[in-house]
Each structure stands twice: as C-alpha cells, then as structure tokens.
C-alpha cells in the first residue's frame, strides 16, 4: 500500500475544499490489505506533518473500533461484512505498543483507544504477548518509555475494570507480574516532584484505582503490600505542592499535575475506606480486610486529611476536587468511633470555618449569576456537577455528622441562629445559614425539640427575604420552602403566605434563577400540602403560563418534571388551558430541536424528551374531552412531523407514544395519513422501533376496525412491517410483537371478509418457525396466528396449510403444524393465549372434514385441553382483586427521633450489610439456576403475558365464552360421531374424567351467571348459582351408548 497516497488523502480531509474527494479516496482504500498497518506507520512517523498524523490516528481509531472484531453475515446474506484482515491485525498488534510509547500526547490518546478495543477482543485468546511487551518497556532502563507503557497497562486494566471478580482471572495473572513492578517504580519516583515524575506517579495511581474500584483482588494485595501502597498514598496526599504553582491562575491550578496526583491518591483512599475498609458496612468476603484496614490505616490517613482541611481553613489554596474527596473520607469516618474521636475536637471549627463558608454564596456564584444566569441555573441543577462539587460534599458531611453524632446539630443550629439574628450580618452568611438549615430539614422535622420551631423560623427569617434586593437571597428563600415542604403548618396563614410569596416570585420576579427555584418550591408545596393546592386553584392559568415561559427560556429538565406533576395535580383545571400549554410546549420543543447547540449538549436532549413527555401527559389528562384532543392533534402532528422530517431517532419512542395517545378514542383522517408517513420513515429503522410502534399499530387495528379495513393500503402497511420483522434480525421480542399484531388483525376482523390475508399471515409465521427459535414465547405466538386463522375459518386454514410447502420439505406443513401445537400446549400462558388455544382445539376437535394429522394426535387433544383449563382457572383467579396486606406498612417517621450513635460506638448498618449479603447470595443463586432455569419454569408468576395488553374482540366481557365453545363442541361430537368421541375420551384417566365433568359444571354456572347479569342489567333477578347441574357426558365403554 503506497503511504504517500494515503498521506495525500489524509491531508485532503483537513482542507474543506478537498474533503469530499479525500474521504472518497479513503473509503475506496480502507478495505485493501495492508491499509491499516500503513496508517499506523504514518501515525508514528516523525517525517509526516503533525496534523496529518492526527487525522490518521482518528481514522485508525474509528477503523479499529468498528472493524476489528469478527462479525457474522446478516440472516439471508452470504457475504461476510468487512473486518480488518488477520495479517493486518497481527502487524498492528506487533507495533501498537511501540506506537503509543513513541507518540506525542494528542496522538497517544487516540492510539490508546485502539489498544483498548484490541485488548477487549484479542486478550488473552489471540494476544497474550501484550503482557510481555508492556513488561519489557516497563523494565527498560530508558525511563522515556515508562509513561507510554503505563498508559498501555492502564488500557489493559480498564478493560476489566467493571467485570465480576470471577471474570478477571487474565487480569489478575498479569497484575501479579505488574503490581510489584509499578509499586517499585512509584517508590523510586516519590522523592522527585518534577513534572515528568509526578505525571508517571499519577498514571500508576490511575492504574491502581481501575484495579480496585469495583472489586478488591485480595489475592494481589496482602497486608504487607497494602501497607506499602497506603504509605505511598499518604505521602502523596501529605507532600507540599511546589510553591511556584501559586503563580498560576487559580482557575487553572486544579489541572496542574501535582494537584491531579493528589486527587487520585485521595480518590483511592476514600474508595478503599468506603467500599472495603468500613467494618459493618462491607460484604462478607471483605470482613477481615475491613477490620485490618480500619485499625491499621483509617486514623493515620484521616490525620493527614485533617491537615489539608486546616490548610483550607487558613485560606491556603487546596484544589476543589481534593477538598471534595477529603470531605467524602471524613463523611465515612463520622460513622466509626475511632475516626470520630480523632475528628470530634475539630468538628466545630470544621463545621463553622470550612463547611459553612463552602455553603455560602460565593464570588464565583455572583460572577456567573451576573454574566450568564442561564449557565448558573444549569450548574446548580447538574447532577454530574454534584459528584465533583466541594459544596455538595460539605453538605453531605454535615448531614451525616448532624444525624449520627448528637454534639453536632445543637451547636450548628446555634451558630446559624446567631448569623440569622445579626441585624448587620453579611447577607451571604445569611444565605449560608439558610442553606445549612434547609439541608438538615428532614432531620430537624423528626426531632421534637426543633420541629415546632421551624414554622416560626420561616415566618421570622425566610418570608422577609422574598422582598430582598439580592436575587440570590430571594432564590434561597424559595429553596428553603422547597426543603420544608413536608412541614405540618399549625397556622394556615403561614402556609397561605408561603404559597403566595412563592407564586409571586414565579410570576413577577425579574431574575430567572429565582423563578426556577420558585417553580420547584411551588410544585413541592402543592404536592405535599392539600391546602396549598386549593390556594393556587384560582391562579392555575397564570402559574402554568409562567412555568411554560421559564421552561422555554431556561430549557431546564427539572422544570418539565414540575409541569408534569402540576398537570396531574390540576387535571380538571387543565382542560381549559391545555391547548395554550401544548402550543407553548411545541414552540419550545421546536426551538430546542432547531438550535445550533442541540447536537452537542446532552441536557437539551433530556429537556426535549421531557417536553414530549409533558405533552403526552396533557393528552392523557384531557382524553375524555374529544373536542380538546382534536385541537391538540394538529399541534402534536407538527411536533411529530418535525422529529420524523429531521430523523431525530432518539425521540421516535416519544413521538410514537404521542401518536398512540391521539388514537385511543377516535382516529381522524390526519392520523390515518400519519400511518403511511410512519411506514415510509421507519422502513429503515422498523426493527429497532417496532415494539415502540406496537401500541399505535394496535390502535389502528382495533379502535376503528371498519375504517382500518376500508383502505386496503392500511392492511398492506401493517402486514409488510410484520413480515419485515419476521424475516429480518430484529430479535425475538420484536418478532413476538409482529406475530401478535397479525393475530390481533385476524381476531378483530372475524366475519369482516379478510380471507385474502389469511394465507399471507399464516405463511409468514410458519416460515419463521422453520428457522431457529430460542424462546417458547415466539413459538407459541407464531402458532397462535394459525390458531386464530382456524377460528376465523377452519377450511380456509386447512386449504392454506395444504398449499404451503417450504424449500426444506416437499410435504405440506399441516402435520408439522398440528404436532408442534400439541407439543406446545403447555407453553400457552396467561388468559388470552389459553383462551385462543382452547377455542382452536375445540374447533379442530369438531371439524367433520378434519385432516389426517388430527386423527394422529387424537389421544392428546382432551388431556391438552384439561391442562389448559387448569391454567385458565388459575389465570382467572389471579385477576380477582386481592386486598390482603395492602395496608400492611405503617408510617414510622415519628419513631425516627433518635438515629444518633454514642461517641464510642460505630454505625454498623445491619440492614445494609444484610442487603449486601442478600445481593451476593442472590447472585450465587442466579448463577446456579442459570443453567436450568428453563426446566423449573414457575408458571404461577406468569398468569399474564407481556403481550396480553394488546386486546382483541375476543377479550371483551361480552365476547364468546371458551367454556361454552368447548362443551358445546364436545357435546356435538358425542351426538354426531360416536367413534370419534370414543377415540377422544378413551385415554382419559378417572381423575381427568372428573376434571371434564367439573368443566361442564363450571360452564353451566358461567352461562347462568352471564344470563343473570344480563337480566340484572335490565332490572331483573339473579340466578341461584348452586342449582344442580345435569350430567351430560357419557364415558361408557361402547360407542354410541349415550
């Protein structure tokens, strides 16, 4: 392969004028043998311009991740899909580690992704040599190769990072070689705080973290090696960062390697303490280790961490993520007497001088609020931000300390009281005090000493802040009301005041962060205070309009949840404003979807999804009002059209749900047109979204069956979709849904002249049965389509079966179908499926011109029916209302008064430990049962199948009764064809004959009950259900003896 040709093409991809031609050239070349190894040569060559090497690295990363693994040909296709040739793969395996070691950082990171993909597929099977190669460079006296080889080792460890312990054997074997080596390396480097040395130390810490974060390999870390590692972590946490780093801008300091190295060391000790070193809170395999870890290291490490806390207290710089991890470790330490005793003398100064300032409004908050209030809102509600925020870590630490240690809460509340009552106090400190009190709300509301004072606190210190000139204090006032939304108000005036002030902030405040907090506070008050709901009722329209305005402006996902909850709270009032709201939401959705930033920002996707769900909620609330639904339909169709037109596939599920909601009562001409549009759009993605389409397609068939049949195109569309699913590789779940839909059409269109469809439907499902079927669900669902066809027209089905021949067999498929059906009667579960099977077998049994294949299975027919009736009886019983134990749980919130633990005791979470062990035990049982779970299938748990929700005319209350169909059929056989009757009944045992008699008795009772119900409905009388029932079946030995 000519490297220059590839270099020129790669160069062209960087130039906008040549890009298309260059990409075409590469797309024509990448399948040629030796292309990928040549690409790697270009990447590592110093002679090639850097931008070209970078482009080559990105192209190679995409190639390896997509084409490295072997792939099978799709069903029905002979040609294998492209993957990188084994010769090329071997060349890459031989050279990629060296490539990573030699390359600069930007290229190294791309090649590292390639390496991880290769290890994932080839290690240990095809490439054990990777361990030797990494080992060779790690041992090299040339330390220039260390960082690159450590990066390669990191990819190996990360491949196994989240695997179960029993799946990590290849990694454990490799780490028995590497772990001692990298420990020696880091010990050698510790005294050297030069940039290069600390970079390598950081990489070693990242490797150790990936090794232990999910499962601790006790066979690798004995007490001696763990002691050495903990000493390494302690040294890194404790050592000073070079003073020259203070010359760097404070915003950039967290990215310096010295702080990053410290962060990883803290990340490690915190993880080890939380997951494996906290006695009483670990799974049983770590019990011994946790005792050793806690007694040996916990206090020593905490001593170093308290030193870091003190540095921060004295206003010395500590990187935010370092401080966050320190607080997370201390949070764990609060639960144990040993670490608590060490922390206790400092807890007041930590609470007041470290935690409290972190919870106050800060300069950076003010800067962001003023410069970009929308970004301020995004930051405050970003759950990912919570995982790295020192403020949230401080809040969590204080909460645990206040809940578990009795000394903490009174002193902190006293401190906050002083701050709030100081007339000349700093308003930012007032914000901090309220932040502290709100964070501890659920503890305060459970303690008798405080819960009576909280209403006064709101009245005296919070309500006044709604009139503050400072936006952040008005926002904090709303947040505090949100925190205390469960408070039992003794004075209705205070509750009314809280609701009015929050409503006013939402509607009238000029600052968007205040409006957002007010919206959330208002919804939580309404959801938790019955009276608050009444206070807002007259203002529902302006409140909802303002909520919509705020959502449109901020595109905040939390607020779409607020709107959904408000819609449910005010469902009656919603009918008058539903159209305006939906119009607003549709405009917001359109704005989000068409904004330039949409592609890059995940928040916008979540937010847009929230809007679609909110529109769906509105449709559900107003579904009883057809005239409103009709007005909403036009707006919703614009939204659906926008998603389909732009092919935004992540919203297909939501727009299909919208279309379903619009077709539940009546189907307009516009909605019928949508069926054709969906068919065109989803031709390509039909497999992936078929199960999401199913509720909508079911509506098209069942809501207005006559309209569905009036246009042959409708039936054709649904048949084509089902056929495509059944012949493709959609997976068995989608195939079950496709077969179900064909069954629904047949049962729904009984007597409506769809004879021409029956052969197509039956052939599609039976052809699917000729290929491998893994689950009994798919097998029975395919059989059920043919059974439904038998019920539709017995002779039409028989003729269809006689005319179907598949390529692997010259015989008609009739006997195969009937034999399979008989073999699988015990697999028909739930109410509907058993009912169909019973009706089918009854029809088969009664046929006068029955196929020979039926006679061949005659002895199985009645025993199969009896088994089905037994299951059916249980299915009906499971549908009966079961009121037992519904009120079994008592609320005990007042009994949680005292969750504190004495200073000399540990917080051993017995329930938590039992839960962890139960999970472990459950996993063991699952593994043991996995092999034979099909044999011991517990039918009792399956009285309703997943597809049973897609009802048909057969499932309606006044539809045919399967008991009457069966008994009538058997009685007719008995009187008309004594020989056949004798053949059917001869194999029955005495117990089975009793069962048959019970079925006949039950049939009479059901018949009487139905007639009684009918007469009662007309104001008549009730039948006596215990009336004697005549014996009708004759089991005499001689045919015709009845």
CA distance 766 to 797: 12
φ/ψ of residue 675, rounded to 5: -55, -45
Categorize the per-residue pLDDT at 928 as very low, low, confident or very high, splitting at 50, 70 and 90.
Answer: very low
* Max CA distance (Å), the chain: 110
Residues in the chain: 1042
pLDDT tens for each residue of 626-643: 888 889 999 999 999 999
pLDDT at 4: 93
The structure's pTM equals 0.72
The answer to whether residue 238 scores a pLDDT higher than 70 is: yes
- Mean pLDDT, range 648-667, rounded to an integer: 92
Residues 136, 146: contact at Cβ < 8 Å? no
pLDDT at 134: 96
Categorize the per-residue pLDDT at 777 as very low, low, confident or very high, splitting at 50, 70 and 90.
Answer: very high
The answer to whether residue 942 scores a pLDDT higher than 50 is: no
The answer to whether residue 890 scores a pLDDT higher than 70 is: no
- Ramachandran area for residue 1034 (φ above 0: left; ψ -120 to 50: alpha; else beta): beta
- Ramachandran area for residue 647 (φ above 0: left; ψ -120 to 50: alpha; else beta): left
Residues 550, 516: contact at Cβ < 8 Å? yes
pLDDT at 895: 45
pLDDT at 1029: 46
pLDDT at 959: 86
pLDDT at 649: 87
Q: Nearest CA to 441 among 480, 470, 408?
A: 480
Task: Mention every residue, 6+ apart, whose C-beta is less than 8 A from residue 473.
Answer: 427, 430, 431, 465
pLDDT tens for each residue of 944-995: 567 888 999 898 888 899 999 999 999 999 999 999 999 999 999 999 999 9
Lowest mean pLDDT among 284-288, 589-593, 923-927, 1005-1009: 923-927
pLDDT at 879: 73
CA distance 440 to 421: 19
CA distance 1006 to 963: 8
Instruction: Characterize 495-519 residue by residue with b for buried, 16 or more Cβ atoms within 10 angstroms of its Cβ, and e for exposed.
Output: bebbbebbbebbbebebbbbbbbbb
CA distance 156 to 150: 10
pLDDT at 73: 67
pLDDT tens for each residue of 723-750: 999 988 888 999 999 999 999 999 999 9
Categorize the per-residue pLDDT at 931 as very low, low, confident or very high, splitting at 50, 70 and 90.
Answer: very low
Which H, E and C letters describe 216-247, residue by residue? CCCCCCCHHHHHHHHHHHHHHHHCCCCHHHHH
pLDDT at 1041: 41
State whether residue 511 is helix, strand or coil. coil
User: What's the DSSP call for residue 1025?
Assistant: T
The answer to whether residue 809 scores a pLDDT higher than 90 is: no
- Mean pLDDT, range 173-188, rounded to an integer: 96
CA distance 473 to 434: 9
- Residue bearing the bigger pLDDT, 886 or 948: 948
Lowest mean pLDDT among 289-298, 588-597, 776-785: 588-597
Residues 907, 901: contact at Cβ < 8 Å? yes
Taking the mean position of all CA atoms in its chain, how far away is CA 942? Answer: 24
pLDDT at 348: 97
pLDDT at 573: 85
CA distance 991 to 566: 59
The answer to whether residue 914 scores a pLDDT higher than 60 is: no
pLDDT tens for each residue of 1012-1025: 877 766 665 554 54
* Residue 170 tokens, joined: 């290849």
pLDDT at 941: 39
CA distances, 85 to each of 33, 55, 90, 122 (Å): 7, 22, 9, 14
The answer to whether residue 670 scores a pLDDT higher than 70 is: yes
The answer to whether residue 381 scores a pLDDT higher than 90 is: no
Lowest mean pLDDT among 135-139, 482-486, 913-917: 913-917
pLDDT tens for each residue of 604-625: 788 888 889 889 988 887 887 8
> How many C-beta atoms lie closer than 10 Å to residue 711's C-beta?
13
For the chain, give the mean pLDDT.
89
Lowest mean pLDDT among 264-278, 746-760, 1008-1022: 1008-1022
- Residue bearing the bigger pLDDT, 572 or 483: 483
- Mean pLDDT, range 594-600, rounded to an integer: 61
Categorize the per-residue pLDDT at 549 as very low, low, confident or very high, splitting at 50, 70 and 90.
Answer: confident
pLDDT at 937: 34
pLDDT at 896: 45
pLDDT at 841: 97
Please report, to the nearest 10 degrees, the dihedral formed by the alpha carbons of residues 154, 159, 162, 167 taken in order. -120
The answer to whether residue 170 scores a pLDDT higher than 90 is: yes
Categorize the per-residue pLDDT at 35 as very low, low, confident or very high, splitting at 50, 70 and 90.
Answer: very high
Residues 653, 689: contact at Cβ < 8 Å? yes
What is the full DSSP assignment across 788-834?
HHHHH-HHHHHHHHHH---TT-SS-SHHHHHHHHHHTGGG--HHHHH
């Amino acid at each position: 392969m000519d490297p220059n040709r590839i270099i020129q093409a790669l160069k062209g991809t960087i130039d906008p004028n040549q890009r298309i031609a260059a990409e075409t050239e590469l797309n024509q070349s990448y399948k040629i043998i030796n292309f990928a190894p040549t690409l790697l040569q270009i990447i590592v060559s110093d002679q090639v311009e850097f931008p070209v090497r970078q482009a080559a690295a990105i192209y190679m990363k995409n190639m390896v991740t997509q084409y490295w693994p072997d792939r099978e040909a799709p069903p029905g296709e002979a040609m294998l899909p492209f993957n990188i040739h084994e010769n090329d793969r071997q060349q890459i395996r031989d050279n990629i580690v060296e490539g990573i070691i030699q390359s600069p950082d930007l290229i190294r990171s791309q090649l590292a992704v390639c390496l991880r993909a290769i290890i994932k597929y080839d290690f240990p099977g095809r490439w054990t040599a990777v361990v030797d190669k990494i080992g060779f460079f790690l041992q090299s006296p040339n330390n220039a190769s260390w960082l690159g080889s450590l990066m390669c080792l990191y990819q190996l460890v990360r491949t196994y990072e989240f695997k179960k312990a029993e799946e990590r054997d290849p990694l454990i074997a490799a780490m028995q070689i590497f772990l001692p080596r990298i420990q020696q390396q880091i010990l050698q480097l510790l005294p050297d705080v030069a940039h290069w040395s600390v970079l390598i130390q950081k990489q070693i810490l990242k490797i150790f973290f990936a090794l232990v974060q999910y499962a601790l390999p006790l066979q690798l870390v004995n007490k001696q090696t763990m002691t050495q590692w903990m000493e390494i972590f302690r040294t890194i946490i404790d050592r000073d960062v070079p003073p020259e780093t203070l010359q760097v801008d404070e915003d950039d300091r967290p990215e310096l390697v010295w702080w990053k190295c410290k962060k990883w060391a803290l990340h490690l000790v915190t993880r080890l303490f939380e997951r494996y070193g906290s006695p009483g809170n670990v799974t049983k395999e770590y019990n011994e280790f946790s005792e050793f870890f806690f007694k040996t290291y916990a206090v020593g490490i905490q001593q170093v961490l308290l030193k870091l806390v003190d540095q921060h207290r004295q206003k010395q710089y500590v990187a935010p993520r370092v401080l966050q991890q320190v607080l997370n470790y201390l949070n764990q330490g609060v639960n144990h007497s040993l670490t608590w005793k060490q922390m206790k003398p400092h807890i007041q100064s930590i609470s007041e001088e470290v935690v409290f300032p972190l919870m106050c409004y800060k300069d950076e908050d003010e800067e962001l609020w003023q410069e970009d209030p929308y970004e301020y809102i995004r930051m405050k509600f970003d759950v990912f931000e919570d995982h790295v925020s020192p403020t949230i870590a401080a809040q969590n630490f204080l909460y645990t300390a206040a809940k578990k240690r009795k000394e903490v809460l009174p002193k902190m509340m006293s401190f906050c009281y002083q701050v709030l009552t100081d007339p000349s106090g700093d308003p930012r400190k007032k914000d901090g005090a309220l932040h502290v009190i709100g964070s501890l709300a659920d503890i305060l509301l459970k303690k008798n000493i405080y819960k009576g004072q909280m209403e006064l606190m709101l009245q005296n210190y919070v309500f006044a802040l709604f009139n503050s000139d400072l936006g952040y204090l008005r926002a904090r006032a709303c947040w505090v009301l949100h925190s205390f939304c469960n408070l039992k108000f003794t004075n209705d005036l205070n509750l009314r005041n809280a609701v009015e002030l929050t409503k006013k902030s939402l509607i009238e405040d000029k600052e968007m962060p205040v409006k957002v907090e007010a919206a959330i506070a208002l919804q939580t008050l309404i959801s938790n205070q019955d009276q608050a709901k009444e206070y807002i009722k007259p203002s529902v329209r302006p409140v909802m309009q303002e909520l919509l305005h705020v959502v449109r402006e901020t595109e905040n996902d939390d607020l779409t949840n607020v709107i959904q909850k408000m819609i449910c709270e005010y469902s009656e009032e919603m009918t008058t404003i539903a159209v305006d709201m939906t119009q607003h939401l549709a405009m917001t959705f359109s704005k989000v979807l068409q904004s330039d930033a949409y592609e890059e920002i995940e928040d916008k996707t979540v937010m847009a999804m929230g809007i679609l769900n909110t529109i769906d909620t509105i449709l559900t609330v107003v579904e009883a009002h057809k005239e409103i639904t009709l007005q909403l339909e036009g707006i919703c169709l614009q939204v659906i059209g926008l998603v389909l037109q732009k092919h935004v596939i992540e919203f297909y599920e939501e727009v299909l749900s919208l279309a379903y909601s619009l077709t539940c009562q009546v189907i307009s001409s516009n909605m019928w047109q949508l069926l054709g549009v969906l068919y065109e759009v989803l031709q390509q993605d039909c497999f992936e979204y078929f199960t999401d389409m199913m509720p909508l397609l079911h509506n098209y068939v069942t809501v207005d069956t006559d309209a569905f049949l009036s246009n042959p195109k409708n039936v054709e569309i649904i048949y084509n979709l089902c056929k495509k699913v059944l012949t493709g590789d959609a997976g068995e779940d989608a195939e079950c849904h496709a077969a179900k839909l064909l069954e629904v059409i047949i049962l729904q269109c009984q007597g409506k002249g769809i004879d021409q469809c029956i052969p197509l439907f039956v052939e599609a499902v039976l052809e699917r049965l000729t290929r491998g079927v893994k689950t009994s669900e798919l097998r029975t669902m395919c059989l059920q389509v043919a059974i439904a066809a038998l019920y539709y027209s017995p002779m039409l089905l028989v003729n269809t079966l006689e005319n179907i021949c598949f390529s692997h067999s010259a015989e008609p498929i009739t006997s195969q179908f009937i034999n399979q059906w008989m073999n699988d009667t015990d697999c028909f579960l739930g109410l509907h499926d058993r009912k169909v099977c019973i009706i089918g077998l009854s029809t088969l049994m009664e046929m006068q011109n029955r196929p020979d294949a039926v006679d061949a299975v005659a002895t199985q027919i009645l025993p199969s029916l009896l088994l089905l009736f037994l299951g059916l009886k249980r299915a009906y019983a499971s549908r009966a209302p079961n009121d037992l134990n519904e009120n079994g749980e008592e609320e005990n919130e007042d009994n949680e008064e005292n969750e504190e633990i004495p200073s000399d005791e540990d917080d051993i979470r017995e329930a938590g430990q039992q839960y962890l062990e139960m999970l472990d035990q459950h996993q063991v049982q699952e593994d043991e049962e996995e092999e034979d779970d099909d044999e011991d299938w517990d039918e009792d748990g399956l009285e309703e199948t997943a597809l049973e929700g897609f009802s048909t005319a057969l499932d309606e209350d006044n539809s045919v009764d399967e008991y009457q169909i069966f008994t009538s059929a058997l009685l007719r056989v008995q009187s008309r064809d004594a020989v056949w009757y004798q053949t059917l009944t001869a194999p029955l045992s005495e117990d089975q004959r009793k069962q048959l008699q019970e079925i006949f008795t039950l049939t009479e009772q059901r018949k009487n009950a139905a007639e009684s119900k009918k007469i009662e409905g007309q104001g008549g009388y009730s039948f006596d259900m215990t009336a004697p029932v005549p014996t009708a079946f004759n089991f005499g030995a001689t045919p015709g003896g009845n």
